Amino acid sequence: MRFALLLFAYPLMAQTQPDTQALVNEIRLLRQDLQTTAATIQRVQIVMYRLQAETALVTRTMQRLDDARAGCTRAQGQRKTTATQIEHAEEQLRNAQNPADRKRFEEILPQLKTTLEIWTNDEQQCHTREAEADSQFRTERAKLSDLEEQLDKLDKALRQ
């Protein structure tokens, strides 16, 4: 009787062995898929954090560029206004009949010319700052674009 029981149980054990192995293999594959997905999600989180930080940096560099441009516009306007004042004062000096008026314009002209030099220097320095800010903005914007591209690739990988 025991022998018959063994003969009957052996085919059952043999049949369950491949099924068990298939289940073990399937579990291993699922585990690998989960690990791959978890790693991809972690990479997405890292890229998202970097994207957020880079976006803030791009915003700051854009503000710096806007400030530099506004400063250049202001300096250029002041320089032009001062140059116009100099032309006007020189014309007034040439046409002055009264010695007091003549003396007043002779005193004003050097001050205006000094002011013009200051605004001219300020404008030149401003253009340098603007060029630096523009360069930094372009660099940071390129980094942001790279991060956005990485995020797009990771998004595609997660869709599959």
- Average pLDDT for consecutive 10-residue bins of the chain (160 residues)? 48 65 93 90 90 95 96 96 95 89 91 96 95 96 93 83
Cα 148 from chain centroid?
11
Cβ neighbourhood burial of 92 (10 Å; 0-12, 13-18, 19+):
middle
Residue 131's pLDDT is what?
A: 96
Read off the pLDDT of residues 71-87 as tens digits, 9 standing for 90 and up: 999 999 999 999 999 99
Residue 84's pLDDT is what?
A: 96
Read off the pLDDT of residues 42-75 as tens digits, 9 standing for 90 and up: 988 998 999 999 999 999 999 999 999 999 999 9
Residue 7's pLDDT is what?
A: 47
How many CB atoms are closer than 10 A to CB 91?
11
This prediction's pTM = 0.68
CA dist., res. 3 & res. 74, Å (int): 105
Residue 16's pLDDT is what?
A: 63
Residue 6's pLDDT is what?
A: 46
- DSSP assignment of 52-76: HHHHHHHHHHHHHHHHHHHHHHHHH
* C-alpha R_g of the chain: 39
The domains located in the chain, with CATH, are 42-159 (1.10.287)
CA atoms within 13 A on the CB side of 96: 16
